[in-house]
Amino acid sequence: MPLRTPPLRGAHDDRGASFTDFGGWEMPVEFDSIKTEHTAVRESVGIFDVSHMGEITVSGRDATALMQRLVTNDVTALGVGDSQYAMVTDEDGVVLDDTVVYRLSDESDATAEDDGASYLFVPNAGHDEEAYDRWTGYRDEWGLDATVENRTEAYGMLAVQGPDAESLVASAADGDAADLSRFEARWVVVDGVECWVARTGYTGEDGFELIVPWDETDAVWAAFDCQPCGLGARDTLRIEAGFLLSGQDFDAEENPRTPYEAGVGFTVKLDTESVGRDALARANEDGPDEAFVGFRLTERGVPRHGYEITNADGEAIGTVTSGTVSPTLDEPIGLGYVPVEYDDPGTDVSVVVRDRPKSARITTTPFIDQ
């Protein structure tokens, strides 16, 4: 299957990016160096092309009912222009994907009717089609009146992240974007292009994400004069922040997890009608057997996805799901699952690197000060 390409593929090539296959998309992994890009975001500002993220819109009379039953969070809590982090789970409460749900503003969506609520949510790379199928399948099964559209290839998506993101976005945008509060979003004109601008991100820094009409993505990208960053730095930044990566830190097939195990129980509202609610209520009552934790290696080495975690007796107790050498701390750090009896910060464990156990210590996340 050919890779899907972001609207900025040519511009990235001209800028000397190297590319990687990510969720079926050919995306820039590195422009200059991961450390340079990472440091720009921690200390000033950087811009990412995240057009591999999906965009699904849901509108119509029963839009709220459909959303409420397919994500774990309570979408009725969203006012116009609010957003929330949520899980998409199956009927057993297993996380299929994580997402951000935005309630769109009525002005921008002339097709919205009735209670006027319409939504945009952002599946991870390569999950847009399954999300679309899930939403339309359940809509039809439940006989709901909602229009579901997969707009993934109608929109590009950019992320401007870092302590200087606010001033950069303020200077590039016609409207007021800088006064958006965390998880707030609205339509803002940037360089003549109307964009859905949200104060969200995936780096552990302040920042904005912009959903941009596909053909205008290059113009909006060019309106931000700052360090271009690839998926390599996006990964090191999110690991330092302790954020989950779909398909890597959980995977419905290879590493099925409930939101409670994955450390995102706060996204589950049990007083809603979500498809996994009954299973999640039981999981919450029983408490998880395993927990998603951060750890630091206390000797040299690089923890990587799939490496074994062992206890002081050398018994296998868990698995690393993400790891790197933190560019901010210059120390090896990682994320993974261990039984709850090992999840207290300060617990000594080991990570097996090429058959050799390396000392590690369970640590609170985020790894960096925020």
Residue in 359, 312, 313, 370 with CA at minimum distance from that of residue 334: 359
Assign 3-state DSSP to the chain and report helix, strand, coil percentages, each to 5: 25, 35, 40
Nearer to another protein, 34 or 112 (CB): 34
Peptide bond into 366 cis (omega under 30): yes
Nearest approach in angstroms of CB 350 to another protein is 17
271 CB burial (10 A radius; 0-12, 13-18, 19+): exposed
Site membership for another protein, residue 336 (CB under 8 A): no
| CB-based burial, 309-337: b 16+ in 10 Å, e otherwise | bbbeeeeebbbbbbbbbbbbeeebbbbbb
- Specify the residue, 151 or 304, whose C-beta has the smaller distance to another protein: 304
* Contact pick of 327, 334, 336, 365 for another protein (by CB under 8 A): 327
- Is 203 a binding residue for another protein by CB under 8 A? The answer is no
Q: Which of residues 347-366 bind another protein (CB under 8 A)?
A: 354
Per rule CB under 8 A, is residue 40 in the interface with another protein? no
Q: Give 324-357 as a DSSP string.
A: EEETTTTEEEEEEEEEGGG-STT-EEEEEETTEE
The correct pick among 24, 35, 113, 153 for binding another protein (CB under 8 A) is 35
Least distance from C-beta 35 to another protein, angstroms? 5
Which residue, 26 or 194, is less far from another protein as judged by CB? 26
Q: Which residue type sits at 293?
A: V
Q: Which of 200, 151, 198, 152 is nearest to 173 (CA)?
A: 198
Tell me: does residue 236 bind another protein (CB under 8 A). Answer: yes
Write out the two tokens for 361. 């210590």
Q: Which positions from 264 through 303 interact with another protein, judged by CB under 8 A?
A: 300-302
Cβ-based burial of 287 (10 A; exposed 0-12, middle 13-18, buried ≥19): exposed
Helix (H) or strand (E) holding 323: strand 316-326
Number of H helices, E strands in the chain: 8, 19
Among 304, 305, 352, 357, binds another protein (CB under 8 A): 304
Tokens of 242: 């302790």
The site map against another protein for 1-20 (x = CB under 8 A) is ---------------x----
Based on the shown chain and the rule CB under 8 A, indicate whether residue 325 belongs to the binding site for another protein.
yes
Query: CB-wise, 123 or 327, nearer to another protein?
Result: 327
Scanning 72-80, 203-211, 258-266, 320-328 for contacts with another protein by CB under 8 A, the matching segment is 320-328
Which of residues 33, 76, 111, 171 is near another protein by CB under 8 A? 33
Binding of another protein by 322 (CB under 8 A)? no
Counting contacts by CB under 8 A, is residue 240 touching another protein?
no
Rounded-to-integer distance, Cα 339 and Cα 343, Å: 7
Residue 317: what residue type? I
Q: Which stretch binds another protein (CB under 8 A): 28-36, 249-257, 269-277, 333-341?
A: 28-36
In the complex with another protein, which residue's Cβ is closer, 270 or 302?
302
Query: What contacts 4, CB < 8 A, 6 or more positions away?
Result: 24, 25, 26, 52, 153
- Contacting another protein within 90-149 (CB under 8 A): none
Which range of residues in 42-50, 66-74, 108-116, 322-330 is near another protein by CB under 8 A? 322-330
Closer Cβ to another protein, 28 or 54, answer by number: 28
Number of residues that bind another protein (CB under 8 A): 17
Query: Rounded to the nearest whole angstrom, what is the least distance from the CB of residue 329 to another protein in the complex?
Result: 12
What are the residues binding another protein (CB under 8 A)? 16, 29-30, 33-35, 232, 236, 300-302, 304, 324-325, 327, 332, 354
